Amino acid sequence: MAQLQIQTEGFDHQLLDLRLGMNRVGRSPDADFPIAHSTVSALHCELILRDSGVTVRDLDSTNGTFINDEPVTEAGLSAGQTLRLGDVELHVENVDVIVAIPKYHRTDLPAPPVVVNDGKLVCPRHRLAHVSYQCTVCKEVMCDACVHQLRRQGGKKVLLLCPLCSGAVEPFGTRAPVKKSLFARVAETVKLKFKHTVNLDDGSE
């Protein structure tokens, strides 16, 4: 993160670690970075840290704000420059903005199913139960105890829903029947009619 170090004697090279946004510097104890020196105003300046860098803004101080001995009311800061507030000098160590994004590890995901000796899957949430259902949406497998049951008001049919995504579930291992093509259905119809005709002819002789 952006830092400035006080070079003036008596401050033990104090570091100012800037936070994102506005940082008020001055003699007042209410300042974000108090500097107890007679030439520093109560609220002397603001150091504004953005992703584009650091900007210093003078707050009508009595003894002025300077960058490399040039008076400024508002200006950008660069690493290596000297910022002076009255008679107090600060060295600009860096103006970098480092935003650390913490890694997020989900802990609510179930463990993958385990295959036991009989070839059946063990439920990821209930280790003593076999998998009996699978979600048609997220493909999660589950046992009977995992399935959420929902009965519509006034209805008799019970909806079986996935505990993770609320999608419909179906018995594990089932597959939808394969629909026959129009050509296949026509071929079967012709075959049946032909067989029926042959049987009639055989019976008439």
Instruction: Specify the pLDDT at position 205.
Output: 44
Encode pLDDT of 90-142 as tens digits.
Answer: 999 999 876 666 665 555 555 566 666 566 788 888 888 889 999 998 888 89
Residue 149's region, left for phi above 0, alpha for psi from -120 to 50, else beta, is beta
Q: How many CB atoms lie within 10 A of CB 131?
A: 22
pTM beyond 0.95, yes or no: no
Query: Minimum mean pLDDT among 72-81, 113-122, 177-186: which range?
Result: 177-186
DSSP string of 54-119, one letter each residue:
EEEEE-S-SS-EEETTEE-SEEEE-TT-EEEETTEEEEEEE-------------SSPPPPEE-TTS
Encode pLDDT of 154-176 as tens digits.
Answer: 667 888 999 888 889 999 875 54
Instruction: Specify the pLDDT at position 198.
Output: 47
Encode pLDDT of 38-73 as tens digits.
Answer: 999 999 999 999 888 999 999 999 999 999 999 999
What is the CA angle 98-54-6, rounded to 5? 95
Instruction: Specify the pLDDT at position 119.
Output: 67
Contact 137, 165 (CB under 8 A): yes
Distances (CA, A) of 140 to 95, 111, 136, 195: 49, 11, 8, 48
Q: What average pLDDT score do residues 70-83 get?
A: 96
Instruction: Specify the pLDDT at position 157.
Output: 80
